[in-house]
């Protein structure tokens, strides 16, 4: 899978973030020259510290909202894995202007810089939030509803811009609609922490996690290794039919929040038996949340030979082990 990347350079925007740093690690472990662009607004220096001594790794501290930074980062780059964004539905509701500046204006800057640098392919992080109020399950790529948050709007706009850049300038793109990604290096702290690292930290500290609603909302939780596989497939595929479209990135199974807490208790109890007795609390549903999410990954399997190896149980087991070592 990596042989097509030998003697190539890959730019990872947001490379100090959760997904970005895992991508950098994978590329470097396969001896691929890797450039990281990050402004450290949400990314962490500690995530990339192990890479700084690697002569295949370059760090550019810059902001995708600055076109000059984007041009600098894209210089002599063959492929772009664009992960830089401001995530979180609640954050976008609280501050739609900044979310739009980063996710739309910053995305456009990166497309322009990639076009000008004549990169071979631009692969970007799209989002399952694009499905909006469309209720049918599983989600298939060509049927979406109306967005339910400013964040969802920005990620849909990314898809529209990517399509136009291919048609107008010939820049090949692939959008990856991530479904609730989790795994090592996902930040458990802050107001907009994702549910899995947040709950893991609370369990480790013997605090009661709080579920929004009755706990029957469900998600297609997707372990980071499945996401890495899709990104690498997207930049290495030789299948022309696979280009200039979007794909769901998920495992293809849904788990309720109550089932999730049961799994977390199960695997954390292997380290601390008392965790199994921690009580779960509930509060009102959160504005902008969709009730259920489940992806069809048939398109990715057919066109990219995607084969997700980690289901929710296997992924939680791996993630919990990492958090136990790094949060204690």
Residues noted as catalytic: 151
Contact of 303 with 241, CB cutoff 8 Å: yes
SS3 245: strand
Report DSSP state, residue 164: H
SS3 122: strand
Token digits of residue 35: 């450039």
SS3 228: helix
Own/partner pairs, 296-302, CB within 8 angstroms, 24+ separation: 296/138, 296/139, 296/140, 296/141, 296/248, 296/252, 297/247, 297/248, 297/249, 297/250, 297/251, 297/252, 298/140, 299/140, 299/141, 299/247, 299/248, 300/230, 300/233, 300/247, 300/248, 300/249
CA distance 27 to 139: 30
∠ Cα 66 72 77 (to 5°): 125
How many Cβ atoms are within 10 Å of 49's Cβ, its own excluded? 11
Reference 246, options 328, 145, 128, 98; nearest CA is 128
Phi, psi dihedrals of residue 237, rounded to the nearest 5°: -60, 140
Which residue shows structure tokens 């089932």? 259
CA distance 92 to 301: 32
In order of 24, 207, 217, 328, the CA distances from 272 in angstroms are: 32, 13, 28, 12
Contact of 83 with 13, CB cutoff 8 Å: yes
Helix axes 224-236, 312-327, angle to 10 degrees: 110
């Amino acid at each position: 899978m990596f042989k097509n990347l030998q003697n190539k350079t890959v730019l990872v925007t947001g490379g100090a973030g959760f997904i970005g740093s895992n991508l950098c690690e994978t590329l470097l472990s396969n001896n691929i020259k890797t450039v990281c662009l990050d402004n450290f607004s949400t990314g962490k220096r500690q995530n990339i510290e192990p890479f700084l001594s690697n002569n295949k790794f370059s760090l550019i501290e810059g902001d995708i909202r600055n076109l000059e930074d984007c041009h600098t980062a894209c210089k002599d780059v063959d492929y772009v894995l664009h992960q830089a964004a401001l995530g979180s539905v609640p954050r976008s509701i609280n501050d739609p202007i900044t979310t739009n500046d980063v996710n739309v204006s910053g995305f456009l800057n990166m497309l322009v810089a990639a076009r000008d640098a004549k990169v071979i392919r631009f692969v970007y992080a799209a989002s399952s939030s694009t499905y909006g109020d469309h209720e049918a399950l599983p989600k298939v790529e060509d049927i979406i509803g109306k967005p339910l948050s400013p964040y969802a709007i920005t990620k849909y706009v990314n898809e529209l811009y990517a399509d136009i850049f291919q048609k107008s300038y010939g820049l090949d793109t692939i959008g990856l609609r991530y479904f609730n990604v989790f795994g090592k290096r996902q930040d458990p702290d802050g107001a907009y922490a994702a549910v899995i690292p947040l709950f893991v930290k609370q369990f480790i500290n013997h605090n009661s996690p709080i579920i929004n609603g009755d706990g029957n909302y469900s998600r297609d939780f997707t372990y980071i290794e499945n996401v890495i596989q899709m990104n690498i497939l997207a930049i290495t595929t030789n299948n022309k039919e696979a280009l200039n479209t979007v794909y769901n990135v998920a495992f293809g199974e849904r788990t309720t929040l109550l089932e999730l807490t049961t799994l977390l208790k199960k695997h954390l109890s292997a380290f601390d038996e008392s965790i199994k007795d921690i009580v779960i609390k509930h509060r009102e549903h959160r504005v902008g949340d969709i009730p259920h999410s489940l992806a069809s990954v048939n398109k990715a399997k057919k066109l990219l030979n995607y084969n997700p190896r980690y289901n929710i149980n296997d992924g939680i087991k791996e993630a919990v082990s990492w958090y136990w070592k790094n949060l204690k």
